[in-house]
Amino acid sequence: MDALLTDEPAPFIRRLLINRPDARNAINADVRAALFDALTTTRDDAKIRAVILGGAGGIFCAGGDLPSMVGISPQAARERMQEGHRIIELLWGFPKPVVAAVERAAAGAGAALALAADRVIIGHQSSLLFPFLRLGLVPDWGLMQLLKRRAGLVRATRLCLDSATVKGTEAVADNLADLAVDDGDVMPTAIAEAQRLATLPTAAFARLKAGLRETGAPDPLGLRYEADAQVACLTGPEFTEGYAAFRDKRTPDFIKKT
């Protein structure tokens, strides 16, 4: 089964759908490779003027594939982070409009994928989830800076400390999403918004986006710091306890178990 589905639901629009519905579209190595290749190809395709990010089976993305992180070595953890970072860097500087269609859930790295888009369309009952501290981890895929840029430092801090789940209307109020619609209307609305954005002048849009996002600045998403921090977390005892608690459906005990 292909890790990523691609189609063109309207003229000039390419849709990329993570295709692991049985795993709630969690991101594994195949998804990371397919996303990077598809985004690179789409960036360079002059016929495509806007992109939609979504998930097959009516769910956006459950984040990183947690079982594959258990017992990971420092080298493998760093390689994993680098694979994610090249995707988020590509999205952050993507010269064409990107619309995220958040259906049901965008968790962890999936939330980062959504927040890196230019427009985030979310269902009223769909959620953005930030479970990192509960797992003994830090936000990754650029999410610390993405959250701060979108929601501001104070709100970003609260979301992380609370391992928050943010539903549609609240996500719009927090500037984490741009529009909340009925859950069955997320993808049609995303397609319509991509069609609208596709009519914008491409060169001017790319320059505007680069200026607003400071893509010429060194490491605007703080990825070097994030890589060091997450490697330490993934290979430390707190993640061992956090994952065990997640697996066993209990509250983690970071005092007694680490």
Q: Is the pLDDT of residue 211 over 90?
A: yes
Residue 256 pLDDT: 77
The token duo for 224 is: 């070097």
Residue 257 pLDDT: 60
**Closest by alpha carbon to 257, among 234, 233, 241, 242?**
241
Question: Can you tell me the mean pLDDT for 196-219?
Answer: 96
Contacts of 64 (CB under 8 A, 6+ apart): 26, 27, 84, 108, 109, 140
Q: What phi and psi, each to the nearest 5 degrees, are found at residue 54?
A: -160, -170
Angstrom distance (rounded) from CA 103 to CA 126: 6
Angstrom distance (rounded) from CA 179 to CA 172: 6
The partner residues of 165 in beta bridges, in order of sequence, read 129
The pLDDT confidence band at residue 1, using thresholds 50, 70 and 90, is confident
Angstrom distance (rounded) from CA 26 to CA 32: 10
Residue 135 pLDDT: 97
Question: Can you tell me the mean pLDDT for 216-236?
Answer: 96
In the chain, domain spans: 4-184
Residue 227 pLDDT: 97
Crossing angle of helices 143-151 and 153-161, rounded to 10°: 130
pLDDT digits (tens, 9 = 90+) for 56-79: 999 999 999 999 999 999 999 999
Residue 258 pLDDT: 53
- Domain 4-184: which topology? 2-enoyl-CoA Hydratase; Chain A, domain 1 (3.90.226)
83, 29 contact by CB (below 8 A): yes
- What's the mean pLDDT when you consider all of the chain? 97
Q: For every residue of the chain, which 3-state class applies, written as one string?
A: CCCEEEEEEECCEEEEEECCHHHCCCECHHHHHHHHHHHHHHHCCCCCCEEEEEEHHHCCECCECHHHHCCCCHHHHHHHHHHHHHHHHHHHCCCCCEEEEECCEEECHHHHHHHCCCEEEEECCCEEECCCHHHCCCCCCCHHHHHHHHHCHHHHHHHHHCCCEEEHHHHHHCCCCCEEECHHHHHHHHHHHHHHHCCCCHHHHHHHHHHHHCCCCCCCCCHHHHHHHHHHHHCCHHHHHHHHHHHHCCCCCCCCCC
